[in-house]
Amino acid sequence: MKKTNKLLVSGLALSLVLSQGVSAVAAKGTNQKKSSHKVDKNKNGMDDKWEKKYKLSGKNLAKQDKDKDGLSNLIEYKLKLNPTSKDTDKDKIPDGLEDSDKDQLSNQAEINLGTNPADADSDNDKVKDGTEKDKNGVKFANKIQDLELAIVTSKKSIHFEYELKSKKFIIDIEKKSLPKGQVVSLVKQLEHSKNLTQEAALKIIQSRLGLKNGDHLEGSVKLLNGTSFELEKDFTEVSENQGTAKNDDLKGNDDHHSHNGDQGDNDDDNGDQDGNHQGDDN
């Protein structure tokens, strides 16, 4: 009996030693795991080591855009980009125009739209952000983010800027050289053109605005999918349907003025005298 008790005591002692050893190893592992966690003393959502690596400092650090690529430091941190370089991977595509989550929308466009540039399906509806459509059936990936045109004809000069921001568009027409409704119609036609190219854009603009021999056009266009190109042309040829398109535009302008606004565009005109307009695009 004494021998049995002695064995039990020895077994218990060995068990305690082993459990202490396991606990020590577990505690060591926990400490190691904790040390690998990010340290964010200023509570701005970014690892302090990452901030130190890129020598970032100052107030509102998360909102700063040190490399001027349209992406804040916090966004660059989440996308694992270099906040001090406009082109982290040196592929000649600015970080803002990259599509980090492969949803057919550029990083900059996603911030503009309020979607997550690090998540291809921000609303978890099993439809990628770029494939989502607006009320006109246009995929977000095909929508125009910026369009600027300067046109000189034998009769007048036309200059306007169109910008899509937070799902609303702003139109600035210099000296009211072109009706707002015509700009909106032009943008819609450009957006309905699949895989818009420089050549296709020039043809659509020539047709919609009735440009002819001797007219000169300069400008640029940027799509939400990151595609962008410059536009420049001296028109020397008249398209076959140019006359028809021009007449249609003139008729559309008359309708626009007679109805005090294009209800089909569903836009709100703020009535500014300097030609600034805003409308809801979604």
What is each CA distance from 267 to 56, 143, 214, in whole angstroms? 42, 17, 34
Please give the pLDDT value at position 281: 63
Please give the pLDDT value at position 23: 46
Angle, nearest 10°, between helix axes 180-191 and 198-209?
A: 150
Answer with the residue of higher pLDDT: 281 or 29. 281
What distance lies between CA 158 and its chain's CA centroid? 28
What is each CA distance from 104 to 79, 91, 132, 141, 164, in whole angstroms? 16, 17, 10, 6, 17
pLDDT at 128 over 80: yes
Segment 206-249, tens digit of pLDDT: 999 999 999 999 999 999 998 999 999 998 754 445 444 444 44
Segment 72-121, tens digit of pLDDT: 999 999 999 999 999 999 999 999 989 999 999 999 999 888 899 999 99
Please give the pLDDT value at position 210: 93
Please give the pLDDT value at position 282: 55
Q: Which residues of 80-100 are buried (b: 16+ CB within 10 A; e: fewer)?
A: ebbbebbbbeeeeebbbbbbb
Segment 129-140, tens digit of pLDDT: 999 999 889 999
The two tokens of residue 7 are 């064995």
Mean pLDDT of 5-22: 45
Segment 53-78, tens digit of pLDDT: 999 988 889 999 999 999 999 999 99
Please give the pLDDT value at position 255: 45
- Dihedral Cα 105, 197, 172, 114, nearest 10 deg: 0
Give the pLDDT band of residue 166 (cuts 50, 70, 90): confident
Answer with the residue of higher pLDDT: 260 or 183. 183
Instruction: Give dist(CA 177, CA 167) in Å, integer.
Output: 25
The two tokens of residue 138 are 């246009």
Instruction: Give dist(CA 67, CA 74) in Å, integer.
Output: 13
What does the mean pLDDT of the chain come to?
A: 79
Q: Please tell me whether residue 223 adopts helix, strand or coil conformation.
A: strand
Segment 253-268, tens digit of pLDDT: 444 433 443 433 444 3
The values of phi and psi at residue 171, to 5°, are: -120, 125
Q: Which residues of 154-181 are buried (b: 16+ CB within 10 A; e: fewer)?
A: eeeebbbbbbbeeeebebbbeeeebbbb
High-pLDDT (> 70) share of the chain, %: 71
Please give the pLDDT value at position 36: 58
High-pLDDT (> 90) share of the chain, %: 58
Please give the pLDDT value at position 38: 83
Question: Which residues, 6+ apart, have CB-to-CB distance to 135 below 8 Å?
Answer: 266, 282
Instruction: Give dist(CA 115, CA 99) in Å, integer.
Output: 12
Answer with the residue of higher pLDDT: 115 or 279. 115
Please give the pLDDT value at position 278: 58
Q: Is 275 left (phi over 0), alpha (psi -120 to 50) or beta?
A: left
What distance lies between CA 73 and its chain's CA centroid? 16
Other residues' Cβ atoms within 10 Å of the Cβ of residue 239: 15
Please give the pLDDT value at position 220: 97
